[in-house]
Amino acid sequence: MAQYARTKGSIALITLTNPPVNALSSAVRKGITETVSRALNDTQVKAVVLCGENGQFCGGADIKEFAKPMSGPALVPMIHAIEAGEKPVVAAIEGIALGGGLELALGCHYRVAHAKARMGLPEVTLGLLPAAGGTQRLPRLTGIPTALELITTGRHITAQEALKLGIVDKVTDGNVVDAAMEMALSVIGRPLSPRRLSTLSTPPLANLDGVFEAAMAQVKRRSRGAMAPVACVKAVRAAAELPYSQGMKRELELMGTLMSSGQAKALQYCFFAQRAVGKWSLPNGAQWNNSRPRDIRTAGVIGLGTMGRGIVVSLVKAGISVVAVEMEEKQLDLGRKEVTGILERDAKRRGVTAPLHLISFALSLQSLRGVDLVIEAVFEDMELKKRVFADLSRVCNQNTMLCTNTSGLDVDQIASVTDRPPLVVGMHFFAPAHVMKLLEVVCGPRSSAEAVATAMSLGKRMGKVSVAVGNCPGFVGNRMLKSYMDESVFLLEEGASPEQVDQALEEFGFALGIFKVGDLSGLDVGWRVRKSSGLIGPDVNPTFPSRVRQGRRYCPLPDLLCEQGRWGQKTGRGWYLYDSAGGRVARPDPEIQRFLQDYRLRYGIPSRRISEQEVVERCVFALANEGFQVLEDGMAAGPEDIDMVYVFGYGWPRHRGGPMFHAAQVGLPRVLQRLEFYYRENPDIPHLQPSALLRRLVGAGSPPIQQWKQYIRSTHSQL
């Protein structure tokens, strides 16, 4: 898995061969070890060039091997042998040099990169650190602040930035192997000691303590509860304070702790899950690799509210020409201003020109006649959406794909008013749509494979993680969210405060607690949905609203709050208090405490002390329990799909893998036992009743998450 050739007489060319990214599997490490030794021992060879086949230098360690016992030569001595060798070794970096791939290149004496190459040490995103000497060599080369930033964020850099930072010695537009050969020939005979990074000292830095303290504070703030960024700071500190050999010991020690951690397993699971969700399939056998997406060049967006604006920006940034339609002139002008502003700010940040020429604004659906695809983003109201789709069906070319950005309405019902149900799919974006990475692609029972393929691929083009989901109320994300939200308000009834629930969830790792999220997105949104679904209406006694609706426990607290005009940040008051309408800083509100006490008194609900454990278990296990039901109902293809929906759309802490992975990590028997306990205590909350799939999995001895699909008994799977 490393080829050896002697070229130009005195140059040995070693080529890594492990498609698609030349990951450093045990076979590749063996190949490199053997070929480097051969080159160093061949008296005809004066210099060595190391490259990767198929335009990729190296994607780093083989992540799949992390789950297995280590075999074959280790990376550290392999890289050390290259650096310590008496012949110059030049890395020819094309495509990518990531993780162990960049560490390998840092062990070489010179580095030449193609202008389009990208480099980085992304181990932190996998719950690890660059433990093949990366934390020790990079600070010696770039200085501590740069190394700290690159290692703790895992950010990829371009060849140009790498050149500026001194990480590569030369950048070429031409053939990188030829340029590396040329460099190799030119350095033969030059002293190698100054090129051995491990022998150098880190460049001096004033206020070392201050720099590391600030870095530590920053990583703790940014990635709450994640271990790897903290370990990365510690490892770089070792480079600054210890001789290389001791720094390497510290690097290994820190890596040892990370490698065996649940966080690393969760993050590596996420890496593969993110890729697995792109491999969708439908019950009729159509799937990602046998269905051709359409080439979308022009799109229409209807509705320029918050969602529509974000969708326009996402499409335009993907290079698609967009016709943005609003029915009222005032809304259109507002939308135009907002969209233009977002694109201009983004372009300024990136030092490019805003692609405003790609957008046109219109007041009539007629302007959508010739577009390839339309995304409707009007108000979440079935009758309104049906009217829009019936109109689109009349106005648009017969072949235009019609997509609805609904967050939970029946896509098939919407499709039924058109003349082309096979060309209708749901594209559920998350607010703000130009920022959030998740796209739920809702496959209606009549959506064609071509339509699904097109929506999935369009999502990818817009930089989204597209997840195919079934057509049920709330789809995957919002359907599960209901159990989670219900639990959080039930906890308030029983004695908790919004800040107590939020704190427990934020300590668990959520970016924001559920009540802060509610205030941010607007409490009136859910209020409207509850009204339209019949949960609130003329039958409900306004002075003493019932706590049972549609046959299950119901908490009227959010409705009572909305009736008081407490709609969240937009009104300056919600579950929290804000300085003014639109304020962002949440403060606990004593009025809410009184409101909750009065409520409990009125309904005779005894207030009790609720532990952090109960908050997390009831919210998170209820969420996962609904996830099992989603799987059983065939609305998600597998646990990975659910987990990616939560990681990319709902602020779920990535280092906990997703709700389904978390359940597996906690242990399915424990999750089952806690749900049984809470259900016994609250028999009026059906979503606490353990799902049949969870019971079956426990009965089968809790197989690994990758095998769960075998236990699903869905008879009408939509995926």
Query: Which residues form the catalytic set?
Result: 103, 123
- Cα torsion 504, 510, 516, 519 to 10°: value is -150
Helices (H) and strands (E) in the chain, counts: 28, 19
The nearest distance, CB 535 to ligand LUC3G6IP, in angstroms, is 42
Q: Tell me which stretch binds ligand LUC3G6IP (CB under 6 A): 60-68, 374-382, 400-408, 498-506.
A: 60-68
The nearest distance, CB 56 to ligand LUC3G6IP, in angstroms, is 7
Give the CA diameter of the chain. 94
Residue nearest to ligand LUC3G6IP (CB): 99
For 686, half-sphere exposure in the C-beta direction (CA atoms, 13 angstrom radius) is 10
- Residues 275-334, interacting with ligand LUC3G6IP (CB under 6 A): 275
- Residues 505-524, interacting with ligand LUC3G6IP (CB under 6 A): none
Q: Which is nearer to ligand LUC3G6IP, 64 or 552 (CB)?
A: 64
Q: What share of the chain is helix, strand, coil (3-state, %, to 5)?
A: 50, 15, 35
The nearest distance, CB 172 to ligand LUC3G6IP, in angstroms, is 21
The nearest distance, CB 467 to ligand LUC3G6IP, in angstroms, is 15
- 3-state secondary structure at position 113: strand
Q: Does 23 bind ligand LUC3G6IP (CB under 6 A)?
A: yes
Q: Tell me which stretch binds ligand LUC3G6IP (CB under 6 A): 118-126, 449-457, 495-503, 597-605.
A: 118-126
The nearest distance, CB 126 to ligand LUC3G6IP, in angstroms, is 5
The nearest distance, CB 75 to ligand LUC3G6IP, in angstroms, is 5
Q: Which is nearer to ligand LUC3G6IP, 252 or 384 (CB)?
A: 252
* Integer Rg of the chain from CA: 28
Q: Which is nearer to ligand LUC3G6IP, 61 or 320 (CB)?
A: 61
The nearest distance, CB 76 to ligand LUC3G6IP, in angstroms, is 6
Cα–Cα distance for residue pair 564/131, rounded to 1 Å: 56
Which of 48, 119, 126, 323 contacts ligand LUC3G6IP by CB under 6 A?
126
The nearest distance, CB 333 to ligand LUC3G6IP, in angstroms, is 39
Q: Which is nearer to ligand LUC3G6IP, 121 or 451 (CB)?
A: 121
The nearest distance, CB 174 to ligand LUC3G6IP, in angstroms, is 23
The nearest distance, CB 72 to ligand LUC3G6IP, in angstroms, is 12
Cα–Cα distance for residue pair 650/510, rounded to 1 Å: 9
Q: Which is nearer to ligand LUC3G6IP, 64 or 387 (CB)?
A: 64
Q: Tell me which stretch binds ligand LUC3G6IP (CB under 6 A): 126-134, 525-533, 627-635, 656-664.
A: 126-134
- Contact at 8 Å (CB) between 557 and 493? yes
- Contact at 8 Å (CB) between 294 and 400? no
- Residues 608-637, interacting with ligand LUC3G6IP (CB under 6 A): none
Which of 9, 20, 69, 704 contacts ligand LUC3G6IP by CB under 6 A?
20
Alpha helices in 244-373 (DSSP H): 244-259, 262-276, 306-317, 329-350
Which of 31, 52, 60, 88 contacts ligand LUC3G6IP by CB under 6 A?
60
- Residues 232-261, interacting with ligand LUC3G6IP (CB under 6 A): 255-256, 259
Burial 176-206 (b: 16+ CB within 10 A, else e): bbebbbbbbbebeeeebeebbbbeeebeeee
Q: Which is nearer to ligand LUC3G6IP, 128 or 409 (CB)?
A: 128
Beta strands in 24-145 (DSSP E): 47-52, 89-93, 96-98, 110-114, 118-120
Q: Which is nearer to ligand LUC3G6IP, 127 or 421 (CB)?
A: 127
- Contact at 8 Å (CB) between 462 and 593? no
Structure tokens at 151: 């290692």
Q: Which is nearer to ligand LUC3G6IP, 20 or 174 (CB)?
A: 20
Q: Which is nearer to ligand LUC3G6IP, 268 or 488 (CB)?
A: 268
- Contact at 8 Å (CB) between 140 and 238? no
74 to 113: interface string for ligand LUC3G6IP, x by CB under 6 A: -xx-------------------x-xxx-------------
Q: Does 151 bind ligand LUC3G6IP (CB under 6 A)?
A: no
How many other C-beta atoms lie within 10 A of the C-beta of residue 538? 5
Q: What is the 8-class DSSP label of residue 718? A: -
Cα–Cα distance for residue pair 669/667, rounded to 1 Å: 6
Residue 79 burial by Cβ neighbours in a 10 Å radius (0-12, 13-18, 19+): buried
Q: Which is nearer to ligand LUC3G6IP, 72 or 495 (CB)?
A: 72
Residue 697 burial by Cβ neighbours in a 10 Å radius (0-12, 13-18, 19+): buried
How many other C-beta atoms lie within 10 A of the C-beta of residue 669? 14
Q: Tell me which stretch binds ligand LUC3G6IP (CB under 6 A): 1-9, 125-133, 301-309, 385-393.
A: 125-133
Q: Which is nearer to ligand LUC3G6IP, 278 or 432 (CB)?
A: 278
Alpha helices in 205-303 (DSSP H): 208-222, 227-241, 244-259, 262-276
CA 57, 59, 64, 66 torsion-angle sign: positive
Structure tokens at 556: 């009227």
Closest by CA position to 519, among listed 595, 463, 588: 588
How many residues make contact with ligand LUC3G6IP (CB under 6 A)?
A: 27
Residue 469: enclosing H or E segment and its boundaries?
strand 465-470
Q: Does 21 bind ligand LUC3G6IP (CB under 6 A)?
A: yes
Structure tokens at 463: 């930089």
How many residues in total does the chain contain?
719
| Chain centre to alpha carbon of residue 251 | 27
Q: Does 28 bind ligand LUC3G6IP (CB under 6 A)?
A: no
Closest by CA position to 162, among listed 187, 190, 141: 141
261 to 280: interface string for ligand LUC3G6IP, x by CB under 6 A: -----------x--x-----
Closest by CA position to 513, among listed 528, 498, 495: 498
Q: Tell me which stretch binds ligand LUC3G6IP (CB under 6 A): 120-128, 173-181, 228-236, 335-343.
A: 120-128
Q: Tell me which stretch binds ligand LUC3G6IP (CB under 6 A): 130-138, 410-418, 459-467, 553-561.
A: 130-138
Q: Which is nearer to ligand LUC3G6IP, 59 or 310 (CB)?
A: 59
* CA-to-CA dists, residue 527 to 307, 352, 513, 522, 583, angstroms: 19, 42, 19, 9, 21
Peptide bond into 139 cis (omega under 30): no
Q: Which is nearer to ligand LUC3G6IP, 70 or 363 (CB)?
A: 70
Q: What is the 8-class DSSP label of residue 156? A: -
The nearest distance, CB 8 to ligand LUC3G6IP, in angstroms, is 30
Q: Does 123 bind ligand LUC3G6IP (CB under 6 A)?
A: yes
Give the binding site for ligand LUC3G6IP (CB under 6 A): 20-21, 23, 59-64, 75-76, 96, 98-100, 122-123, 126, 128, 130-132, 255-256, 259, 272, 275
